[in-house]
């Protein structure tokens, strides 16, 4: 039995030092007071972080001076426990508030809260997790989701903001403050009388705390919330120069890749039915007041573009933004358009901002990472990815970049489902994944799902031999329900052309799972030496410890593959084992690559590629000169021309066979 009871004075509270503080009068009967005390003693010490509890003597304001040690005794005042301790927590306390339901015009705020809590609990259960709930006297509810591994403030904050975009009654503020994040636990008094009552049996709630959720549940929950997480991760500052958005298709109800068009032909990103998701607090503040941080935005134009881009990322339509401006809800944003003298001019500027925002959201969600830089020449570009130069052709005129990027994201989602379903296994599976990730990076660099990269370029991106890439591509295009479609055969200096397609078996996964922004695929050159197992294990490691037991499912590898990968990573400081699990090590992959002489190896390979390309161009030049002599109307190089000229020696080892010259 926990050390709990009621005070001798008859006031609600627990016997002990807290009774020295005059307690406010409460309508809770003695039996209810004992129930509250028992509930607090059973759960508050297990849910609170840092061993401290803060009181609100006026029922509203939790002041630091009213902070006490957290133990099993129920405070006489309204009290809340900390969520974070040193920026880390093992609890997701989802706070669903009736005041937010009332703010959106709900006829029965408590019923809306209950509905959204049930939906969130079902979401956690669908991800394989467990949670329990309490309810306040006003109808607000808390859902407690415990975690086996500590979660850092940054990732928990993003998750809270994503939940606020999905659920209109969700209050993310407790999760957004690393130092002052507080939550009233079960058993705590409420300022309007009564206390936080468990909505689930106490035995079940205790079982949930005894069996916290693992990394698999965490990953599945992020997958389910990926559309909202993408909107949260959208930078609030657009690029200084944003290209014009593509013209919408007139008369069409939608565009490829998930974007729709409204009755005026303006593109928008669909979201689940229900009230409009809210913008981030920072953007809402800019829209209401017109005040912005000059360290973040250089001009009012950038600030207003950030608000419009945030609305587009949340699934708003242009008409929704215009309605807010007309109704006077966003006077700050309206002030940014005051430089335009007439209503038509202001409307034209808003439409231009919306076009830029749509393209910005699509491009930034699949943008290049910090390891990518490029230089343009002769109409094309040489892009250096992880110190590997790759030639990229300019975008094809007339291609819809928004739709193409959305198709690429859907394809990646389908690939993730195939990996988790073990479509390819063993060493073959590792090779297939590396080749497909190289094609993914090629698609991102080209901003199209139709790829004209040669085997040698793909080999550099995959960290494999070009002959292995060629054989794997041939195998992949012959699969039933394939991931790639062979569009055109190689001809002259042009490589085979492939198109990324979503297999029918994974169409459903591609429809709802989205791609985290900034990911490009491909393999760092260091894993040309360390191997594919090390590459895929390294990809899932971060600063939060991961148990060895969870790594096979997260990395899509066998336990043996995970063991091999960890051994290789640990040897060079790329992975470190802690008491709670594995984390990324302090070593930088580039430094490890230098240690293993990978740059010299890449340079030797590229020198061979340049030599072979020069030999092939020389051969094609001779064929062009002799073409009239051997012209028989066929597309292939005539056999007599091959016999006369002789093919370069390396052609005999090409898995494709001799290329077509014209």
Q: How many CB atoms lie within 10 A of CB 624?
A: 12
Predicted local confidence at residue 235, as pLDDT:
39
- Output the pLDDT for position 273: 60
The neighbouring-strand residues paired with 582 are 546, 577
Measured between alpha carbons, how far is 378 from 621 in angstroms, rounded to an integer?
A: 20
Q: What pLDDT is stored for residue 222 in this prediction?
A: 84
| pLDDT per position as a tens digit, 524-547 | 888 888 988 998 899 888 877 888
Question: Residue 242: what pLDDT?
Answer: 36
Distance of alpha carbon 485 from its chain centroid, rounded? 27
Residue 90's pLDDT is what? 92
Cα four-point dihedral sign 476, 480, 484, 487? positive
* Residues of the chain with confidence (pLDDT) below 50: 1-2, 5-26, 234-257, 365-380, 383, 385-387, 394-398, 514-515, 517-518, 630-635, 643, 652-653, 655-662
List of residues 6+ apart from 184 with CB closer than 8 A: 78, 79, 80, 81, 136, 142, 190, 196
Task: Say what the pLDDT of residue 369 is.
Answer: 39
pTM (two decimals): 0.45
pLDDT in tens, 452-493: 888 888 888 888 888 888 889 889 888 888 888 887 777 666
Give the DSSP letter string of 487-498: EE--BTTBPPEE
Q: Tell me, what's the pLDDT at 183? A: 92
User: How many residues does the structure list for the chain?
Assistant: 662
CA-CA distance, 295 to 225, in Å (whole number)? 31
Tokens of 630: 């051997």
Q: Which two tokens stand for residue 33?
A: 């007071």
What integer pLDDT is reported at residue 92 of this predicted model? 94
- Residue reference for tokens 């066929």: 634
pLDDT for the residue numbered 34: 87
Give the pLDDT score at 44: 92
């Amino acid at each position: 039995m926990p050390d709990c009871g009621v005070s001798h004075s008859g006031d609600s509270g627990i016997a002990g030092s807290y009774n020295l503080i005059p307690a406010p009068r409460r309508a809770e009967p003695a039996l209810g007071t004992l129930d509250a005390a028992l509930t607090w003693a059973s759960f508050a010490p297990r849910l609170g972080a840092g061993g401290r509890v803060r009181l609100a003597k006026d029922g509203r304001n939790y002041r630091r001076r009213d902070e006490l040690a957290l133990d099993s005794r129920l405070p006489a005042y309204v009290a809340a426990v900390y969520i974070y301790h040193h920026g880390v927590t093992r609890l997701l306390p989802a706070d669903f508030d009736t005041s937010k339901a009332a703010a959106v015009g709900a006829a029965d705020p408590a019923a809306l809260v209950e509905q959204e809590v049930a939906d969130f609990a079902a979401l956690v259960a669908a991800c394989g997790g467990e949670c329990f709930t309490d309810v306040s006297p006003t109808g607000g509810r808390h859902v407690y989701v415990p975690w086996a591994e500590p979660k850092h403030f940054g990732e928990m904050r993003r998750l809270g903001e994503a939940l606020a975009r999905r659920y209109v009654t969700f209050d993310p503020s407790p999760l957004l403050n690393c130092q002052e994040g507080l939550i009233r636990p079960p058993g705590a008094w409420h300022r309007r009388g009564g206390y936080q009552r468990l909505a689930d049996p106490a035995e079940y709630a205790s079982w949930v705390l005894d069996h916290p959720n693992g990394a698999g549940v965490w990953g599945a929950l992020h997958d389910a919330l990926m559309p909202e997480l993408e909107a949260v991760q959208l930078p609030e500052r657009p690029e200084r120069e944003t290209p014009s958005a593509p013209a919408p298709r007139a008369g069409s109800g939608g565009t490829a890749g998930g974007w729709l068009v409204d009755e005026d032909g303006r593109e928008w990103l669909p979201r689940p039915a229900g009230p409009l998701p809210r913008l981030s607090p920072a953007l809402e503040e800019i829209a209401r007041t017109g005040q912005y941080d000059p360290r973040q935005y250089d001009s009012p134009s950038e600030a207003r573009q950030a608000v419009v881009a945030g609305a587009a990322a949340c699934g708003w339509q242009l008409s929704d933004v215009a309605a807010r401006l007309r109704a006077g809800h966003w006077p700050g944003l309206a002030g940014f358009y005051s430089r335009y003298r007439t209503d038509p001019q202001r409307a034209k500027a808003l439409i231009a901002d919306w076009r830029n925002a749509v393209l910005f959201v699509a491009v930034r969600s699949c943008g290049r990472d910090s390891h990518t830089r490029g230089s343009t020449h002769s109409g094309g570009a040489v892009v250096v990815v992880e110190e590997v130069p790759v030639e990229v052709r300019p975008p094809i005129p007339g291609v819809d970049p928004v739709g193409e990027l959305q198709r690429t994201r859907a394809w990646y989602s389908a690939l993730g489902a195939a990996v988790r379903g073990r479509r390819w296994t063993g060493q073959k599976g590792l090779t297939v994944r590396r080749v497909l990730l190289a094609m993914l990076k090629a698609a991102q660099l080209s901003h199209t799902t139709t790829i004209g990269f040669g085997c040698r370029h793909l080999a550099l991106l995959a960290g494999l031999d070009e002959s292995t890439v060629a054989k794997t591509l041939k195998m992949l295009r012959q699969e039933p329900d394939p991931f790639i479609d062979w569009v055109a055969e190689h001809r002259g200096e042009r490589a085979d052309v492939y198109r990324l397609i979503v297999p029918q078996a994974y169409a459903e996964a591609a429809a709802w799972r989205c791609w985290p922004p900034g990911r490009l695929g491909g393999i760092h050159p260091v894993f040309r030496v360390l191997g594919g197992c090390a590459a895929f294990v390294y990809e899932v490691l971060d600063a939060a410890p991961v148990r060895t037991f969870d790594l096979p499912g997260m990395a899509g590898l066998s336990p043996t593959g995970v063991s091999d990968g960890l051994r290789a990573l640990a040897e060079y400081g790329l992975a470190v084992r802690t008491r709670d699990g594995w984390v990324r090590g302090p070593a930088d992959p580039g430094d490890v690559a230098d240690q293993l002489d990978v740059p010299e190896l890449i340079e030797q390979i590229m020198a061979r590629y340049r030599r072979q390309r020069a030999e092939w161009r020389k051969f094609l030049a001779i064929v062009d000169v002799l073409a009239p002599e051997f012209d028989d109307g066929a597309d292939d190089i005539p056999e007599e021309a091959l016999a006369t000229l002789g093919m370069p020696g390396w052609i005999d080892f090409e898995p494709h066979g001799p290329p077509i010259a014209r």
